[in-house]
Amino acid sequence: MTGGSNYYANIPQVEIAGKTGTAQNPGLDHGWFTSFAPLDNPEIVVTVLVENAGRFGSVSASPIASLLIEQYLTGETKRPHILNYVLNFEAGNAGIEDEEEESPDNE
C-alpha cells in the first residue's frame, strides 16, 4: 500500500489494494481486511477476519493478510517485526500505541 495509514500492510516492492473495517460486536469488536496484490496485475486476493480483536482491521487483520500476500508473491517473509506482532497479538491490547512506536515516521 502506498497511500493511507496502514503501516502493517506495507510490503516493500509490492503494491497492495485493500480496505479495512471494524464490525461492532456485543463483546470485543471484530477487525477485517480485504485485499489484492499486486495492484496493477492481481495474482492473489486475501480477506482476513479477526473475531473479537478489540481493535481496528488495520491493526488486527491487515498484518496477517500482508504476511500471506508477501509469502505467496515472494516465497518468504522479510518483515520479522510484523511476524512478531502477529504472533504476539493480544485482543484489545495491540495496535495504535504499537503502531506509533514501530512506524518508520517515528524513528
Amino acid identity of residue 13, one-letter, is Q
Crossing angle of the two packed helices 80-87 and 62-74, in degrees rounded to 10: 130
Higher local confidence (pLDDT), 102 or 13: 13
Tell me what pLDDT residue 12 has: 85
Q: Are 34 and 47 in contact (CB under 8 A)?
A: yes
- What is the tens place of the pLDDT at every residue in 50-86? 999 887 888 899 999 999 999 999 999 999 999 999 9
Q: Is the pTM of this model over 0.85?
A: no
Share of the chain above pLDDT 90, in %: 58
Residue 97 neighbours by CB under 8 Å, 6+ apart: none
In degrees rounded to 5, what are phi and psi of residue 52?
Answer: 55, 35
Q: Are 37 and 14 in contact (CB under 8 A)?
A: yes
Average pLDDT over residues 30-42: 95
Tell me what pLDDT residue 6 has: 73
